[in-house]
Chain A
Amino acid sequence: MSIAPIVRTVTVRQPPDRAFDLFTARIGDSWPRQQSLGPGELASVSLEPRVGGRWREHKVDGSEATFGDVLAWEPPHRLLLAWRIDAAFQYDPALTTEVEVRFDAIDEGTRVTLEHRNLERFGSDAPRIAELLGGGWPTTLAHFADFTATTA
């Protein structure tokens, strides 16, 4: 079974190489301040520019938390990150959900497409999803999650 990935697209007035640079080297400049993993005020977010580089958030009090790491570093067109925060908001090095960001040149600048996939890995007993869907669970679940049986 799989859960539909999250896909988001925005257009920016920058060429791909510049958009890639702003997205990575200055990730902390645009990261939403209210989206923090644990208690404590968020100071910044950083991404080390290499495969295996850490992707972290830094708190005002000096503490830090890890989101995951860099799986592929292919400027200016592609970045692949591992998001390793589980459904209980804990860092789990054994969990890999992929966040792929593509930077495609268009007339106006760059189309930035972000896809967060492998979301079914948040659940350790995914087969029960089908049972839940058949059990009168909220229709919003069906609305935003497209469960596809892998019958191969």
Chain B
Amino acid sequence: MTYAAQALDSFAALGDPTRRAIFEEVAARPASVGALAARLPVSRPAVSQHLKVLKAAGLVRDEPEGTRRIYRLDLRGIAAMRDWLDRHWDGALDAFADFADREHDRENRP
């Protein structure tokens, strides 16, 4: 999957307000399903389901800690964002140079 496609997946994953609230909680501090369910008006199974989607979108990751799993922000999201911007500015500046040169040629046409 390309980073751009992953970014679009991330965008779609955060379209749900409950899921975004869960993501923001996890981004603020690592937490278990139980802790998230206690802090938000969402059932444990629903929290689990939302975390599954966030994980698939590359936004959070989990690791075992004793008998629980702790969810935290996936920093690959930052790397994906930087890569997206890298491609974005590459394309945008090349397109700008082409545009500016075309304008120059048009303005200086004999």
Binding site for B on A (CB under 8 A): 3, 6, 8-14, 18-19, 22-23, 26, 29-32, 35, 37-38, 86-90, 109, 112, 114, 116, 119-120, 122-125, 128-129, 132, 137, 141, 144-145
- Given A32, A112, A145, which contacts B97 in the complex, CB threshold below 8 Å? A112
Separation of A4 and B109 alpha carbons in the complex (Å): 42
| Most chain A CB atoms below 10 A, which of B11, B77, B86, B92 | B92
Separation of A14 and B102 alpha carbons in the complex (Å): 10
Contact residues of B between 77 and 110, Cβ < 8 Å to A = 77-83, 85-86, 88-101, 103-104
B14 on interface, CB distance cutoff 8 Å: yes
- Given B78, B86, B96, which contacts A87 in the complex, CB threshold below 8 Å? B78
- Secondary structure at the B interface, as helix, strand, loop or mixed, is helix
Query: How big is the B interface, by class?
Result: 35 or more
- Secondary structure at the A interface, as helix, strand, loop or mixed, is mixed
When the two chains form their complex, are residues B75 and A30 in contact, meaning their CB atoms are under 8 A apart?
no
Residues of chain A within 8 A (CB-CB) of B88 are 32, 35
- Given B28, B89, B99, which contacts A22 in the complex, CB threshold below 8 Å? B99
Residues of chain A within 8 A (CB-CB) of B18 are none
Distance (whole angstroms) from the CB of A107 to the closest CB of chain B: 15
Closest 9 CB pairs of A and B: A30-B99, A12-B100, A10-B97, A87-B81, A89-B11, A30-B95, A123-B78, A13-B104, A30-B96
When the two chains form their complex, are residues A88 and B11 in contact, meaning their CB atoms are under 8 A apart?
yes
Separation of A14 and B10 alpha carbons in the complex (Å): 39
Separation of A86 and B103 alpha carbons in the complex (Å): 34
Chain B residue, CB-CB nearest to A32: B91
When the two chains form their complex, are residues B73 and A10 in contact, meaning their CB atoms are under 8 A apart?
no
When the two chains form their complex, are residues A6 and B81 in contact, meaning their CB atoms are under 8 A apart?
no
B71 on interface, CB distance cutoff 8 Å: no
Residues of chain B within 8 A (CB-CB) of A86 are 81
- Given A18, A109, A123, which contacts B75 in the complex, CB threshold below 8 Å? A123
Separation of A32 and B72 alpha carbons in the complex (Å): 34
| Most chain A CB atoms below 10 A, which of B95, B97, B101, B104 | B97
